[in-house]
Chain A
Amino acid sequence: MTEQGISKASLVEQIVEESFARLDHQEEFGPETVEELRRIFAEGDLAKGDPVIRALRCLREESDEAA
Chain B
Amino acid sequence: MRLLELEIRNVRGIRSLALEPNGENLVVWGPNGAGKSAVVDAIDFLLTGRISRLRGEGTGDISLRKHGPHVDHKPEETMVRGLLRLPGLADPVEVKRSIEDPDELACDAPAREHLEPILALAKQGQHVLTRRDILRYVAADTSTRAKQIQELMNLSEVEKLRRAFVSVRNRLGEEIGLAKVAFAEALGAVSATAQLERFDEEAVLATVNKSRAVLDGTPISALCSQDLKAGLTARKIISSAGAAEMAVMSRYIENLRKALGSEHQARMAGVDKKLRALLKKIASEPELLRSLKRLNLTKLGLGLIDETGRCPLCDNAWPPGELSRYLQRRVAEAGSASDCTKEIRQVSGAIAERVGAVTESLRKVAEAARDLQPKNDFLRLQSWLFALEELSRALDEPLDKYEDPRFSPEGVKRMLAPSDTEKSIGSVERSLKAKYPEATPQQVAWDVLTRLEENVKAMEGASAALVKADLSHRRGVVLLESFLKARDKVLGTVYETIKDSFVGLYRRLHGVDEGAFSARIEPEEAGLNFEVDFFGRGLHPPRALHSEGHQDSMGLCLYLALAEHLTKGIIDIVILDDVVMSIDADHRRQVCQLLAKEFPHRQFLITTHDRTWARQLRNEGVAGSNGVVEFYKWDLDTGPYVSQQVGLWDRIHADLDEMMWRAPRRNCVMAWRSFLGLPARHFKRK
* Residues of A bordering B, CB below 8 Å: 1-2, 4-8, 11-12, 14-23, 26, 28-29, 37, 41, 46, 51-52, 55-56, 59-60, 62-64, 66-67
Contact = CB atoms under 8 A, between A and B. Distances in A.
B577 to A, nearest CB: 23
6 contacts: A1-B570, A7-B121, A11-B490, A19-B486, A19-B487, A67-B467
A8 B486 contact: no
Provide the main secondary structure of the chain A interface: helix
A15 B468 contact: no
B471 A4 contact: no
Given A1-B569, A23-B479, A52 B168 contact: yes
Contacts of A18: 486, 489-490
B115 to A, nearest CB: 13
Nearest to A64: B468
B440 interface: no
Contact of A60 (B472, B483, B566, B569): B472
B479 A37 contact: yes
- Closest CB pairs A-B (n = 7): A2-B569, A18-B486, A8-B154, A19-B486, A63-B468, A22-B482, A19-B483
Contact of A5 (B472, B485, B570): B570
B585 interface: no
Interface stretch (B156-164, B225-233, B300-308, B319-327): B156-164
Contacts of A60: 468, 472
A61 to B, nearest CB: 10
Given A5-B567, A11-B490, A23 B478 contact: yes
Contacts of B124: 8
B117 interface: yes
Contacts, number: 113
Contacts of B494: 6, 11
Provide the main secondary structure of the chain B interface: helix
Contacts of A64: 468
Contacts of A19: 479, 482-483, 485-487
Given A5-B570, A11-B490, A52-B164, 11 more contacts: A2-B568, A15-B490, A15-B491, A16-B483, A17-B486, A18-B490, A22-B482, A23-B478, A26-B482, A59-B172, A64-B468
A28 to B, nearest CB: 5
Given A12-B157, A19-B483, A63 B471 contact: yes
A51 B153 CA distance: 22
B569 A41 contact: no
B565 interface: yes
Contact of B153 (A11, A17, A63, A67): A11
Contact of B474 (A6, A20, A23, A28): A28
B267 interface: no
A2 to B, nearest CB: 3
Contacts of B566: 5-6
Point out which of B469, B478, B494 has the most chain A C-beta atoms below 10 A from its C-beta: B478
A11 B464 CA distance: 40
Contacts of A63: 468-469, 471-472, 475
B482 A62 contact: no
Nearest to B468: A63
A28 B481 CA distance: 13
Contacts of B364: none
A19 B488 CA distance: 10
B171 interface: yes
Nearest to A42: B161
B334 to A, nearest CB: 30
Interface in B92-150: 117, 120-121, 124
B167 interface: yes
Contacts of A15: 158, 161, 483, 486-487, 490-491
Contacts of A29: 475, 478
Contacts of A7: 117, 121, 570
